[in-house]
Amino acid sequence: MSTARLAPGVALVTVPGQGLAVRTPDGEFLRVDTGTADPAALVAHLTGTTGDSPALEGLTDAFEQAGYLARPGGSSPRLAGRTVLVLGDEPLTGALTRLVRAEGGEARAVRPGELPAVEGPGTAVVWCLDAPVPSGLWDEADRLSARGVAWLRCHREGATAWLEPLAVGPGDVTSAHIRLRRLAATPAHRELAAYWAGSCTNDNGPAHSAASAALTAALLTADLVAWAAGADGSRRLLRRVDLRDLAVTAHPVLPVPDVAPVTR
């Protein structure tokens, strides 16, 4: 039996007069029936104070089956084996690159002209802008998800950073879909379209600070971790970060279905 240790976020709590309880990573408390085993011996065993004990093998197996143990060498970094191609503006790209590498992923910078050649299910492209998105800039990148490449992006409009949903497959939300949804949701759709087209004065909103860049990069990295784990919770959420107070809000969003051209 290999040495067992409590998984990250799991704690054993000695409750006076009640014995042991497990606090799960989600904050739930579960009573532990140690039977004839000494609770103190179980705590010592699972916290590394003592070595393996045949008398505690059954309890240790129960902890492992419940997912409350981490065996040495049993887990790998959450982005191991994934390649993340990064484009855009500092300080966003620097913060994102550091977090991706800390999670075991390979992060490297690419140029927009290299995107048509990018393919493969182990690859993600993340484009971060500290400014509005010029019309047409992300048209080519919107085709990435149809080729099996994960496509993630963020940009800033004034004092708001927009984090668009991760696109992984042909039916996911693209940047073009987001623009259509936002235009449909505002009575100022003509003004918003003109703003996106560049018919405005220079954007002088607050640029990303180190704190807002770190927050944005952390949210993007969480999307990448979910992608690597096969989860899809981030593929239908459009998030906004208020750069003035770092408040984050999320809004569900769906792709825009294709429609047949109008004929006369």
Burial class, 5, CB count within 10 angstroms (exposed 0-12 / middle 13-18 / buried 19+): middle
Domain boundaries, the chain: 11-65, 83-252
Q: Which of 107, 97, 121, 76 is nearest to 230 (CA)?
A: 121
Whether omega before 25 lies within 30 degrees of 0, making that bond cis, reads no
pLDDT at 183: 93
Q: Are the C-beta atoms of residues 118 and 145 closer than 8 Å to each other?
A: no
pLDDT at 1: 42
**Helix pair 39-46, 57-65: axis angle to 10 deg:** 60
Q: Which CATH class is domain 83-252?
A: alpha beta
Average pLDDT for runs of 10 along the chain of length 264: 75 92 93 88 83 76 87 73 96 97 96 93 96 93 95 96 94 93 92 85 85 97 94 85 96 83 54
pLDDT at 47: 83
